[in-house]
């Protein structure tokens, strides 16, 4: 029977684990916990200043996005933007809300937009949403976040961790830990009936 020296096998295994662990970092994790593109480490195919992008769904324009700078990564089907301003439109072409954010990215094939850093969305009825991360799915016409969010409407302020709504901020569903102050509780009672 041949004896195997396990010490010689353990050192390479430990070294391999250390290399793998040191290669992983929290930089590729976004605020909502999903993996993001480490844009600063990849060279873009094209950089455009003062740029504009339109997103469409079902033949109608859903989004008009402007950015101080856009970096296009063709192989990744992604475009990253800095200092973003955007308008969202309904199926009739009417503007339903506006958005500002520090940064964001777009996946072109599925018309997906994610924005982060001082995100503010204002609906046509002066509803205001403030958060640090927000996703817009043009195909599903849905806005969603799992981040902390503040919603201000008609003098009422509600906060929550996460929400789902439409582009016009008309139908807001809060996810968890909802709190705030309502000024017109009678109005809420009438809407529930």
The DSSP symbol for 169 reads S
CATH number of 44-183: 2.60.450.10
The 3-state DSSP class for residue 98 equals strand
CB neighbours of residue 166 within 10 Å: 17
Q: What is the reported pLDDT for 60?
A: 82
Tell me, rounded to whole angstroms, the distance of Cα 172 from its chain centroid: 16
Q: What is the pLDDT along the chain (193 residues), one digit of tens a residue?
A: 433 333 333 333 232 232 233 333 333 334 444 445 554 567 888 899 999 888 787 788 888 889 999 999 988 888 899 999 999 888 888 898 999 999 999 887 877 889 999 999 999 888 999 999 999 876 667 889 999 999 998 888 999 999 999 888 888 889 999 888 777 655 444 444 4
Q: What pLDDT score does 41 carry?
A: 62
Contact in structure between 132 and 118 (CB atoms under 8 Å): yes
- Could you please report the per-residue DSSP string of 105-128? EEETTTTEEEEEEEEEEEETTS-E
Torsion, CA 44, CA 48, CA 52, CA 54, rounded to 10: -30
């Amino acid at each position: 029977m041949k004896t195997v020296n396990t010490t010689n096998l353990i050192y390479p295994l430990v070294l391999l684990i250390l290399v793998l662990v040191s290669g992983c970092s929290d930089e590729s994790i976004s605020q909502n916990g999903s993996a993001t593109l480490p844009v600063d480490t990849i060279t873009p195919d094209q950089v455009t200043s003062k740029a504009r992008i339109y997103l469409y769904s079902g033949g109608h324009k859903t989004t008009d996005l402007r950015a101080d700078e856009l970096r296009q990564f063709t192989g990744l089907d992604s475009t990253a933007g800095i200092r973003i301003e955007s308008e969202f439109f309904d199926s009739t072409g009417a503007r339903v809300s506006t958005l500002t954010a520090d940064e964001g990215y777009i996946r072109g094939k599925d018309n997906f937009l994610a924005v982060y850093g001082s995100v503010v969305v204002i609906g046509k009825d002066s509803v205001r949403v403030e958060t640090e991360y927000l996703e817009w799915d043009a195909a599903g016409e849905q806005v969603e976040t799992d981040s902390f969010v503040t919603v201000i409407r008609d003098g009422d302020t509600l906060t929550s961790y996460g929400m789902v709504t439409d582009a016009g901020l008309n139908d807001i569903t809060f996810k968890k830990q909802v709190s705030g102050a309502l000024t017109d509780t009678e109005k809420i009672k009438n809407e529930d009936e």
